[in-house]
Amino acid sequence: MATTKSEGRLRETVARVTARFRHRFGWLGTALLMFPVLAWTVLLASDCLENIFHSQSLLLPSLISGELLARPFNTYHATGAKGTPTIGYWLFWFTLFAVASLPWALAVRWLSNREKRGAYAVYAFCSMVLGITLLAMLIIPLIWLIQYVNTMGVTPRRIRGLAYCAIGGLVVLGFIVSAFVRRRTGQRWDWQMAVAVIVATPATLFLLVNTKAWAVLLPSLRTSCFCAFALVCVF
């Protein structure tokens, strides 16, 4: 009997909390909630974003042309010799960032009132920045794995690595798409706002990465982020 009463009180508490906080935050609350995970992800994975969006980077043109994938594989990326980052290194960090950031973003989605266009736009923009950053991390080991297979052939381990990259990429793409979908109204897509966000997000990242302030402030901001992360882990 006591157990039944306790369960009933628990259900009432959950219902009250759900009614009070679900879909309650506007654009400002959504932005403030998304800021910590975006700062942590973008600052610590800034090198990956520079590979994609820096004006002097040739990664995307060489990738689109196929020249990058046809290059011979550098075996240091498999052995880690001379301190070279390995395929496993980048897959580990992609997994860590994805596991730490995506649940947080989904929780913010639960709290955000995306029926309002401001909150819808802010959440979609932040989610797209987060998704692009994760994909920028994932593309490095994916390119190396394709080069590895082209140079040295197929093994079960390399196939598992390619499958892991494919699944991870699909998960992130699914997350990005879901950020533009509404659940509570008949109009599930705000097409005008979605197109505006899809165009504005890469443009914003390009301008951010190519500003002088990015190069000047990045080391100190990254150090601060590392210190904050260490304090969170300790306490």
pLDDT per 10-residue tile (average), the chain, 235 residues: 60 58 78 88 83 82 82 74 74 91 91 85 92 92 89 87 93 92 64 84 86 70 63 57
Give me the residue spans of the domains in the chain.
Answer: 24-234
pTM equals 0.83
DSSP string, the chain: -HHHHHHHHHHHHHHHHHHHHTT-B-HHHHHHHHHHHHHHHHHHTHHHHHHHH-TT--HHHHHHHTTTTTSPP-THHHH-GGGPPPHHHHHHHHHHHHHHHHHHHHHHHHHB-TTSHHHHHHHHHHHHHHHHHHHHHHHHHHHHHHHHHHHH---HHHHHHHHHHHHHHHHHHHHHHHTT--SSSS----HHHHHHHHHHHHHHHHHHHTSHHHHHHHHHHHHHHHHHHHHHHH-
